Amino acid sequence: MSEISKAFAGLAGGEGALVTYIMGGDPDPDTCSKVIDAVVAGGADILELGIPFSDPIADGKSIQAAAVRALSAGTTPRRVLELAKNAKEKHHVPVALMTYFNILYSQGFENFLRLAKSHSVDGIIVPDLPLDEASRYARLSRRMGVDNILLAAPTTSAGRMRMLASNTSGFLYLVSVLGVTGARQSLRRSTLALIAFAHRYTRGRVPLAVGFGISAPEHVREVIEAGADGVIVGSGIVDRVADYRENKSKVLQNVEEYVRSLKAATRG
């Protein structure tokens, strides 16, 4: 069982996992390390670190701005891997990377996976992984012992959902809305329908975690009550980090308190 799978399995009955997304190196690597400390102190069960990329097609304005800040501070994929390793060694929480295919492809699948594994990365999310590359990448990730976390959307067909449920590992990432990441005021009925639809194919074999648009404790409670095993929160954290120039210590406190409120909501 992978470290990510263990994190889900170790939760109390009825409790959901909180996956917190942080853009690696935002606003700079040193401050990012302190943000990681804050989200873990707030109760994050799994840490998701984004590798900044110049053309993040799945991300909304908040995370695009975070990528610009991180890249401007000189953040590289290798620096994000170092942040991942340090976080794992310091906090003993599972770490997943979110990266775009161009970064993966430019470094080579096997080389990137080997680097990720050597830096204590437990899983990788590639939102734009081409279908014709998916099987080769999946074989390599299994061989390296790195979870290949796949994504399902409200438009996912029954046939594709069956394939995703059979091939994802760690968890199945349910994209709650069509479009890009970003905090939203309310959840759509399609999100709750997607959870039920995915359950028909996963049958408890792999956890379901809902992301894109989850930003408030009431969102968290709603998706957990609807049967999701976890939630992924990104833009709500990134938006708070964006205020770091005003008062760094206050920002870290705000991030920790925000994450604590989300974690409390995973318990009902």
**pLDDT tens-digit profile of 99-129?**
999 999 999 999 999 999 999 999 999 999 9
**pLDDT tens-digit profile of 184-230?**
445 667 888 999 999 999 999 999 999 988 999 999 999 999 999 99
Least confident segment among 52-61, 158-167, 169-178:
52-61
Out of 59, 122, 147, 229, pick the active-site residue. Answer: 59
Q: What is the DSSP string of the chain?
A: --HHHHHHHTSPTTPPEEEEEEETTSS-HHHHHHHHHHHHHHT-SEEEEEPP-S--TT--HHHHHHHHHHHHTT--HHHHHHHHHHHHHHH---EEEE--HHHHHHH-HHHHHHHHHHTT--EEE-TT--HHHHHHHHHHHHHHT-EEE-EE-TT--HHHHHHHHHH--S-EEEE-SSS-----SS--HHHHHHHHHHHHHHTTSS-EEEESS--SHHHHHHHHHTT-SEEEE-HHHHHHHTTTTT-HHHHHHHHHHHHHHHHHHTT-
Q: For 15-27, what is the mean pLDDT? A: 98
CATH of 16-265, one of 3.20.20.70, 3.40.50.620, 3.50.50.60, 3.90.1150.10: 3.20.20.70
> Can you give the pLDDT at residue 161?
96
pLDDT > 70? residue 182: no
pLDDT > 90? residue 132: no
The verdict on whether 48 is a catalytic residue reads yes
Which residues neighbour 134 within 8 Å (Cβ) at sequence distance 6 or greater?
none
The verdict on whether 110 is a catalytic residue reads no
Beginning with the edge strand found earlier in the chain, give each strand of the sheet holding 123-125 in spatial order.
147-149, 123-125, 95-98, 46-50, 17-23, 230-233, 208-211, 172-175, 151-152
Distances (CA, A) of 159 to 197, 198, 203: 12, 11, 15
Out of 3, 26, 45, 48, pick the active-site residue. Answer: 48
Q: What is the pTM of this model?
A: 0.94
> Can you give the pLDDT at residue 178?
45
Contact 80, 97 (CB under 8 A): yes
